[in-house]
Amino acid sequence: MRRHICLAVIAILLPLPASAEVILRSKCSLNPGKTFASVEAVFVEWRKLFTEEGFGDYRVRLLIPHAAPDSRVGVFWIEGSSPDFERYGKAWEWWYTSPVAAAAAASMAEVFSCENTEVFRTGPSL
């Protein structure tokens, strides 16, 4: 289901200018017994994998609430960004079709789960 939602979002956004930065944001929660150090360790491996596969321009930041109205222990956001829609689409296509990526996704699922994924494109700087 999630795959279909992401593909639908990509299809809807493709008519937009390809030069806009694309940002994906997901609200996530630590699984029982896991820590933010566990999340960081998974993303160190993820970064190596994405770079090896030619997606080193896809950036990820972990956003850990400090003073947010929805702050709860173990809740954080993942912000991923790609320089444009073309690179974003290629990265996600690889993520959903590669057996190597499936193994990485399984490692992530052992550490955390996410909901409320949103995709944005940047507008002009003001």
* CATH number (domain holding residue 99): 3.30.70.100
Residue 27 within a domain: yes
Residue 114 within a domain: yes
Which domain range does residue 64 map to? 2-121
Query: Residue 76 pLDDT more than 70?
Result: yes
Q: Would strands 75-82 and 22-30 be described as parallel, antiparallel, or unpaired?
A: antiparallel
- pLDDT confidence of 64, banded at 50, 70, 90? confident
Each residue's pLDDT tens digit, 19-53: 689 999 999 999 999 999 999 999 999 999 999 99
Residue 35 within a domain: yes
Q: Looking at the 3D structure of the chain, how many domains does it have?
A: 1
Burial 9-43 (b: 16+ CB within 10 A, else e): ebeebeeeebebbbbbbbbbebeeebeeeebeebb
Q: Which residues contact 24 (CB under 8 A, 6 or more apart)?
A: 78, 79, 80, 81, 88, 117, 118, 119, 120
**Mean pLDDT value across residues 76-81:** 93
What pTM was estimated for this model as a whole? 0.74
